[in-house]
Every structure is written in C-alpha cells, then in structure tokens.
Structure 1
Amino acid sequence: MLKTILIIVLMMAIGAAIGGVTNSLAIKMLFRPFHAKYIGKTRLPFTPGLIPKRRGELANQLGDMVVEHLLTPEGLRRKFLDASFQKQMEKWVQSEVERVLTSDQTLEQFAKQHHIPLSEDRIKRYLHDLTIQRYNELMETYRKEALKDIAGDRLVIRGKESLSAISGYVLQQIDSYISSDAGKEKLTSIIEKYLEGQGFLGNMVSSFLGNDGIADRIQPAISRYITSDEAKEWLTSLLEMEYDKWTEKDIAYFEGRIGADTLSDWLAKAVTKAVPVKDWMDRSIKEHSEKIRPYIVQEMVPELVSYMGAYLSERIPQIMEKLHLSDIVKQEVESFSVERIEHMVLGISRREFKMITYLGALLGGLIGFVQGMIVMLIG
C-alpha cells in the first residue's frame, strides 16, 4: 500500500514539475531569446522568441488597433464637444492667458524670452516700409484725381471760406510792418531809389519834400488802403482765384513738384516718429492689457475655446490622416528594445503569468495522479 502511495505521489510530483516548468518555459519563450541563435549557419528553432520574431507584425497590429478602435475620429469628436472637457479647457486657457497678461515683463523682454522677432528698430522699419507701400498704393489710385475731388466738397468749401480770414491776417501784418520804424525806413529807401531814377524832376521833388517827408505822407495813405474793406475784398478775390486753380490740379502735379520719393519718405518718417514705439516696448504686458484683460479672459477665451473645439471636431479625420497615427505607433513599437517590451508586459501581467505557471503545475499533478491510478489498476 505504501509503495502504491509513493508511486502516485512521485508521478504527481513529476507531472506537476513538468507542467509548471513547461508553462514557465513557454512564457519565457514569448520573449527569449531576444535574438536568433545559430550553430554555424543553421538557425536554432524557436529563436528568437515569439514577440521578438513577430515584432514587426505586432507593431502593425498595434498601430491599426489604436487608430481603428482606440483613438477613433468619433471618440475624439465626442471628447472635443463634451461640455465638461470644454469647461476644463476653458479654465486652463483662461489661467494661462491671465498669467501672461498680468506679467510684469516688458513687451521687449517677453519678445526676447519667447524668441519673437519684435524690437523697436524692427517695428520702426516695418512702419516706415508699410507707410511707403501704402502711399504708393494710394497714389496709384488717386494720382490722376484733382485735389478738390480728393479733399471733398465740404473741406474745399471750408478752405475757401477761410481765405477771407487769411487775407485779413496778411493785410494786418503788412499794415503792422509799414506802420513800424522798420517799415518806414524801408518805404523811405524805396522812394529814394525811385526818385533817383527820375532825373531832374525826381531830384527836385526829393530836395523840396525830403524822402522822410514823402514817406510820412504816403505811409498813412497806404495804411488806410490796406485796412480798408476794398483791399481785403481784392486780396480775398485774388486768393480765391489762385485757390480754385490749385484745387483743380491733380495730385500728380503736387507729387511732381515735391518728388514722389521725397514725399513718401517724409510721410514715412513722420508716421514713424509719431508712433511711440519705444514707449510701447518699455511698458509691461500688464500695463498694455490692463483695460482689455477682463474682456479677453472672460469673453474672448470662452468663445475661442468653443470655436476651436467645434473647428477641430469637424476636422479630426483630416488631422488624423495628416498625423499618420498608425505609422507613429508602429515606429514607436519597432523602436522599443525587446527587454523594454518584456518589462512592460511582465509589469502588467506578472501575477497572471505566475498563476499560469501554478496552473500548469496543478494540471501536471492531476495528470500524474490519474496516470498513477491507471498504472495501479493495470498492475
């Protein structure tokens, strides 16, 4: 009886050992050996292991599985349109935008830190070139137009109405000069030169009245005429005639007189000088955005996140096609070392693999027990 029990126990132990070792070896053969083994030029069977041998097929299958079953356009579209996801994205974007807009960095420092090609000289050159470009574009359109057509009726009328005030100002300045000592001296000099050119009669008048006496008599008469309404009407009428002639001329006439390059360069320099670029660059981002920050964070960002979510959800298939996600997965898997794959799989399934080994030992033991019973019955 004891002999029978020993035989059965021995056969169970052998069966359990065979089952456990076989399963453990089968699990190891999934990965090992990592590379093919050769005797001479003959490759040993079952080398390399299953996964190293089929790594290319595994990469293809994983790539297809990720695109077809995991990261599908429908799944990503649902995620982008999900209200909770959009709310999370909205809060995250708001916090990031708020962080940037409340920065104490100057605009110049921010540009340098983030490698943005923005500097005072660059902006001024851009403004200068842009002004010249816009000038040339506008002149191509308006060069043949008359000045009055460009200015418009309202501006032309206002300009003409101001001529009366201009003539009054001019006459007033002339009267002030003539009434002054310098004006009297100039008038005396003119009379003296005139009488010298009149021969004997001029010398006689000059000696009889004297140049200063003539100037004293003429000066009040000239002053009265200059300050009269007649003089003002005459000068205003003259200015209006000239004004009408000049406003009838086309823009090309004035451009030709000044020079296109001179005019465009002057205009570009004036614009560049008028824009406080240095002040902008030296101000902090916080100062720049102080007035518009609440609007950007509270209104623009939610609208932008909502728009981008809808925009991306509609174009996910095209984006995924452009990204070639399956190829990315394949390349990543193919770049894994077999040791890394083994470590990943065992890290996830080590317990299950141990249970398979134990199950193999259990089944082997049961088979050994059955074999022992059969042997006892036959014997």
Structure 2
Amino acid sequence: MNPVLLVLMMIGIGALIGGLTNSLAIKMLFRPYRALYIKNFRLPFTPGLIPKRQKELARQLGRMVVEHLLTAEGLRRKLERPAFQTQMTEWAQEEIEKILNHPATLKEMLEELDLDMNTIHLEQSISSWVENRYHSVMDNYRDETLENLLSHEWKEKIEVGADQLADHIQEQVTLYFQSPEGRYKVTALIDNYLDNQGFLGNMISSFMGPDGITERIYPAIIRYVSDKEMTYWLRGMLQSELQRAMNQPVGFYEDKIGRDAVGHTLGQAVAKALPLEEWLQKTVAEWSRPYQNKILQEFVPLLVKKASVLLSGKIESMMESMHLSEIVKEEVEAFQVDRLEEMVLGISRREFKMITYLGALLGGLIGLLQGLIVLFLG
C-alpha cells in the first residue's frame, strides 16, 4: 500500500475514533436517562453519570449552598451594607407611596379584603369594645377608694374647688337675700310662722306688725349669711362631705348608677360620637395625606433599618427552620434530567464541540504517530 495513503488512513481512523469517543463520553454524562436491562442484566454505564448520581449530587449541592454559598454570615453582610439598605428603603418608599395614594375609599379597601364594614356594624363593634374595655379596667379599680386613685395634685385641686364652691354658695345666698325677692321671701316666712303660732303669734304680729319684725330680723339674716363664720361653716361642711365621698370605693358610685348601664351608655356614646360614615367614605389618599411625608421620610427608613437588624440577628435560626439544604436537595432530585441536559448543553455546547474536535485532533495525531512508526519499522 502507498505509504502516504496508509498514513492518511491511520490519521483519519484515529481522528474518527478520538472524536467519537469524546462525543460519546459527553453524551454519557446524561444518557441514557434510565438504566437499561436485558432480562435481569443491567447494561453497564446505564443510566448516565449525572442521572445515576443525581441523589448524591442533590445532597452535595444542598450542603454546598448552605455551607459555602448561601451562608448566614454572607446574608448578614448583605443586609448590613448601606447600599443594600438604601436600595431597600427606596423600594419600600415606592411601594408604600402607592398604597398611601390609593384612590379607593376606606370602605372599598375593606370590601376588597372581604371585610363587610358598615356604619351599624362598626358602631356595634366599637360600642361592644368600649363596654368590655370599661369593665376590664373597672375590675381593677372597683375596690379602690377615690382618695387612693387620685394623685396628690388632683386632691389639692378638688379641695380648693370645694372651698371655692362654698364661697360661691355663700355669695349667691347673700345676693338672693339682698334682692327684693329674697326680702319678700323672708317676710312671707315670718308671716307664715306667726300665723301658725296661734294667739301668741297674733299678739306679736299686732304689737310689732309684720314689717317691723322683718325690719329687725332681715339685717341679722344678711349679716349671718355673709359673715366669715358662715364661710368657715360652709367650707368645713363641704370638706367633710368631700372626705366622706373620697373614702368611698369606686364601685359604690358605680352601683348607684348600675354597672351595666354605665358600660353600655359609655359604649353607645363613644360609638355615636365618632363620624364613622364620614371616615368610611374618605379615600386612603385623604387619610394619609397629612402623614405621608413623615411616613415616607422618617418611618419607612427607620422600619427598614429595624427590620435589617432584626433579620440580621435571626438569620441562623431562620435558615435552620427553613432547612435550605433539604429544599435544594429536593429541587435537584425533582429536576428533569433532559431539562438539565438541555440547559447545560445550551450554555456549554461550543465548549463540548471543542472537546470533541480536540479528541479528533488527538486521535489524528496518534494515528499519524502510529503511521510513522509503521513506516519506519515496516
């Protein structure tokens, strides 16, 4: 045979063998997808390397992700970076601003959340809440006296108020008796008294006359009701009554009115006093407009910062509770091999072709070497 033709034939055979071998090796990474059997005998090298080792690969990937890629320390550094916090703050501001500027009314927003809120229902809920809250608070204070509940400042104000009330009563009584109506009342009382005293009353009335008695008694009454002694007496009486009232437990006054009546009336009053219908018809934008700047510029950045600190301290426990390695393992195990093959070949198809060509090149070089050896030895 022609030596040149022999060498070329051996180069071609070597290149074909090298290329086919590398191409087959690449194919055997993924194929066949399942084990092939002839009766009970499983053909060697089936399934392919990756399908055969998929569970082990999934377990190793799960460990690698948790231990080397998605680590708690790496996530903490990411959360604590100023650039990340700025980015999160801007995103949160944009999203919250959309919510704050929502054109829907509060009633419509509640209906979207499947919450049937009307004025009657809200009034009943508020009334019931206030009533229950009143009783829960009063359970702690019914046995306490007013004196124990009131602060020193308030007790001083009440005592001063009692003295002022006594002075006001005395002033009004004095003004009444000094008025023509008061003078007429004193005269009528004297006449009525004398008429009920029989002979003695008639004798005194005829001797002095009703006007004479009034002229003698009326100035004394005016002096008495305006005297300092009356002031001290009124103040002392009111202070005594006040002290008696302060020593009574709160439940004493509540029972006088009725516990249920107080709670029910208070709840109804609060519910009726609130403009619920007006509130329900206001849009979210109207509700939030006075507070938007403060929410967006102060509250949101603070919330993002606090959330970052909270998440940073809870990353380890969160990752443990999420079982990330198990998630990765399950996802890799469930991943279709044909899709994995398509994805890997789509990314590395050119490199695999180069490997095939490299095998052909190496096979050709080996064939050339073999041909030269045959020629020299032949």
TM-score category of the 2 structures, normalised to the smaller one: 0.7 to 0.9
Question: 1:47 is matched with which residue?
Answer: 46
Residues 303-312 or 110-119, more deviating: 110-119
Displacement after TM superposition at 1:126 (Å): 5.1
CA distance in 1, matches of 2:81, 2:274: 46
| CA 1:322–1:302: 2 relative to 1, 3 Å | same
| CA 1:168–1:285: 2 relative to 1, 3 Å | farther
Displacement after TM superposition at 1:55 (Å): 0.6
What do residues 262-315 of structure 1 show as CA deviations (whole Å, max 9, x unaligned)? 222222222222333333332222222222221111122222222222332233
> What's the TM-score, normalizing by structure 1?
0.77
CA distance in 1, matches of 2:6, 2:137: 107
| CA 1:101–1:42: 2 relative to 1, 3 Å | same
After TM superposition, the structure 1 = structure 2 runs for residues 236-247 of structure 1, keeping only pairs within 5 Å, are 245-247=244-246
CA distance in 2, matches of 1:299, 1:158: 46
Unaligned runs of 5+ in 1: 206-216
| CA 1:40–1:51: 2 relative to 1, 3 Å | same
Q: Is the 8 A contact 1:163 1:236 kept in 2?
A: no
Does residue 146 in structure 1 map to residue 146 in structure 2?
Answer: yes
CA distance in 2, matches of 1:49, 1:352: 20
CA distance in 1, matches of 2:59, 2:247: 79
SS in 2 for 1:90: helix
CA RMSD of aligned residues (A): 4.3
Q: Is the 8 A contact 1:146 1:248 kept in 2?
A: yes
SS in 2 for 1:291: helix
After TM superposition, the structure 1 = structure 2 runs for residues 1-379 of structure 1, keeping only pairs within 5 Å, are 3-114=2-113, 121=121, 125=125, 128-146=128-146, 150=150, 152-157=154-159, 159-161=161-163, 163-164=165-166, 167=169, 245-379=244-378
Q: Is the 8 A contact 1:163 1:240 kept in 2?
A: no
CA distance in 2, matches of 1:265, 1:253: 18
CA distance in 2, matches of 1:136, 1:239: 33
| CA 1:42–1:130: 2 relative to 1, 3 Å | farther
CA distance in 1, matches of 2:58, 2:130: 54
Amino acid at match of 1:305: V
Amino acid at match of 1:50: L
Displacement after TM superposition at 1:134 (Å): 4.2
Displacement after TM superposition at 1:244 (Å): 5.2
Amino acid at match of 1:348: I
SS in 2 for 1:111: helix
Residues 149-158 or 317-326, more deviating: 149-158
Displacement after TM superposition at 1:317 (Å): 2.1
Unaligned runs of 5+ in 2: 203-210
Amino acid at match of 1:137: V
Amino acid at match of 2:308: G
Percent of aligned pairs sharing the same letter: 41
How many residue pairs were aligned?
359
Amino acid at match of 2:342: H
